[in-house]
Amino acid sequence: MKENVRLGYACVNMTLTNRPKKAGGRVTTSRTARKVTWKKGSEDPKDWDLHLLGERTLLNANDLLHYLQWNNDHDIKLFRLGSELFPWHDQYELHQLPQFNEIAKKLLECGNYARENGIRITTHPGPFNVLGSPKLDVVERTIVSLERHSETFDIMGFEPSFENKINIHVGGSYGGDFEGTAKRWIAGWHRLSDNCKKRLVLENDDKPSMWSTKMLYHYFHKEIGIPITFDYHHHTFHPDEMSEEAALKLAATTWPEDVVQCTHYSESRAREFQDPKIRAQAHSDYIRDEINTYGLELDIVIEAKAKELALLEYRNIYAYNNKNKKGVLL
């Protein structure tokens, strides 16, 4: 590859998660607690065990720094932070955790480390975040969750920017009502804080009944200027009469000039294992094909199930060995 490409992976480091006790034990950023345990069967916040959630969050924050250090040692300058850093974060205000000051200090340390070492951090809230839902309670929960993700980046000291993107999908079209869904989604978007809006991006889907890159451009980018994360794998199943190159380059036009376009890449698990019983859209463990960037400078999150192991293998196969002074693999 001759183009500037920065590779990353999503959420879990298999090497550290499976580290044996004699080597220091498991490292993870997704510790949580059962709802019945910390809520104690009560809906009264006075009864909740927020100290327990604070303990788990602090451990997650400590291990996030270990993740970033490991990534930097292995020249990985792009990382997707999981949504479980603050477990059950939509149920309380972050500052309500008894250990909040200590957590904030550690997260700022993580942010400083990322900035000092040129590591881009993004996040991808789950599919239950649906701003265009006709159900008001779903929209309300979505707004809270998106704001919590944005607050996390604020705590880490990141300026509001698509550099630290919060990536979501539009969701369904509710019987093919794309126009109505888009209007509801944009109405929800307008309710977000400025910091959150300056980080939020949309990703294309893998079903014809949902949102292609072309549709995201027409219904959302042209209306509110939101960037589009191009997902190669999803485009395979929902190209909407656009070539991969055309869709990727259309998405590229939606990103600000001072922010590198971020994309997602994975391959079919059914093809990897030659098993037609496996859902074709399921992600593979590893990446076998060389990623075509069509001459663009890209940040690419590898969404293979083997996580950083898939990234390292891919990098070795395709000789991503030379780095410039910014740590971008050439």
- Domains, the chain, ordered by start: 5-13+75-90+109-317 (3.20.20.150)
Cα 96 to Cα 49, 50, 91, 157, 314: the distances in Å are 11, 8, 11, 20, 43
Tens-binned pLDDT, residue by residue, of the chain (330 aa): 445 899 999 999 999 999 988 888 999 999 999 999 999 888 888 889 999 999 999 999 999 999 999 999 999 999 999 999 999 999 999 999 999 999 999 999 999 999 999 999 999 999 999 999 999 999 999 999 999 999 999 999 999 999 999 999 999 899 899 999 999 999 999 999 999 999 999 999 999 899 999 999 999 999 999 999 999 999 999 999 999 999 999 999 999 999 999 999 999 886 877 778 888 888 889 999 999 999 999 999 999 999 999 999 999 998 654 443 344 433
Q: What is the dihedral of CA 240, 245, 247, 249, to 10 degrees?
A: -160
39 phi/psi in degrees, rounded to 5: -85, -20
> Residue 95 burial (CB < 10 Å; 0-12/13-18/19+)?
exposed
Residue spans of alpha helices (H) in the chain:
14-17, 35-39, 50-73, 100-116, 136-155, 178-190, 194-197, 213-216, 222-224, 232-237, 244-252, 269-273, 308-317
- How far is Cα 25 from Cα 16, in angstroms, rounded to an integer? 8
Closest C-alpha among 153, 25, 142, 144 to residue 85: 153
Place of tokens 């999150």: 301
pLDDT value of residue 101: 98
Cα 196–chain centre separation: 14
pLDDT value of residue 3: 54
130 and 142 Cβ atoms separated by less than 8 Å: yes
pLDDT value of residue 325: 35
**DSSP annotation of 217:** I
- How far is Cα 19 from Cα 44, in angstroms, rounded to an integer? 39
pLDDT value of residue 244: 98
Q: Could you write out the DSSP letters of every residue in 72-118?
A: HHTT--EEEEPTTSSTTGGGS-GGGSTTHHHHHHHHHHHHHHHHHTT
